[in-house]
Structure 1
Amino acid sequence: MRGILFVLLPFSLLAKSSFITPMEYATSLYKNPRGIGCHKCHGESGEGRVVAKYEHKNEKKSFAGPPINSVSFNDFFISLNVRKNGMPRYFLTQKEIKALYFYLQEKKREDGADVK
């Protein structure tokens, strides 16, 4: 048994620290950070989308998630940590916020948009 441990130990030290890529992690976080995925309100690539249309006091209105794929990291970070109407509070770690921002930037690249 001890011999097997010594044989496998070097391989475990050389193995990557994660079984998923940074993009896979970011995608899973964007799709389901804490129950309600960002894509439900902000679209697959953060482009924003209308979530619901309704009428209030005979006036047609809509509830929409704004575009988030062109904001600076600082504004993105602040938006995730400030309570806003309709935006759930996720209590994300800095690592998770960076991963979400990474996801949005990668999606912009995939979509062919200019990344600042």
Structure 2
Amino acid sequence: MLNKLLLLLIASFLLAKNSWFITNLEYGKMLYNNPRGISCAKCHGIKGKGKTVTHYIKNGKKIYIKAPNIQDIDLNRLKKALFHKYKPKNPIMPVYNYLTDEEIEAILLYLRSKK
């Protein structure tokens, strides 16, 4: 009897586990909006389409600093950008070298869902 009860309990945990945890998409959204630091959305926009971050005046002319559209970025390039292995001229993006591969893949999944 005890074995049947234990088996029933384990089976119910296994069947219900999906509703107890967040999905990769939900985790990607959470990380994109607050990846244990500065939000990706703050510069790249809610949907990853990019936006103007700030501007400055040089020789009387406004110079705009824009974050690029990252909706179509591939996994390898995203990793390079996050770890500063891809060096655009005058990068202003913070380093996110603490994100795991699984977290980066979740962020990418979230970005793909925003197209």
Fold conserved between structures, TM > 0.5: yes
- Structure 2's unaligned 5+ residue stretches are none
Q: Percent identity?
A: 42
- For 2:105, the equivalent position in structure 1 comes to 98
CA distance in 2, matches of 1:9, 1:45: 40
Higher relative contact order (CA 8 A, sep 6+): 2
Across the two proteins, how many residue pairs are aligned to each other? 106
1:46-104 C-alpha deviation (Å, 9 max, x unpaired) = 10000112213423111111111122222222211216521111121100110111111
Aligned with residue 89 of structure 1, among 78, 95, 98? 95
- For 1:113, the equivalent position in structure 2 comes to none
CA distance in 2, matches of 1:11, 1:72: 38
1:56-75 matches, cutoff 5 A = 56-75=58-77
- For 2:10, the equivalent position in structure 1 comes to 9
Alignment root-mean-square deviation, CA: 2.2
Aligned with residue 24 of structure 2, among 18, 22, 25? 22
- Structure 1's unaligned 5+ residue stretches are 109-116
User: What TM-score, normalized to structure 1?
Assistant: 0.77
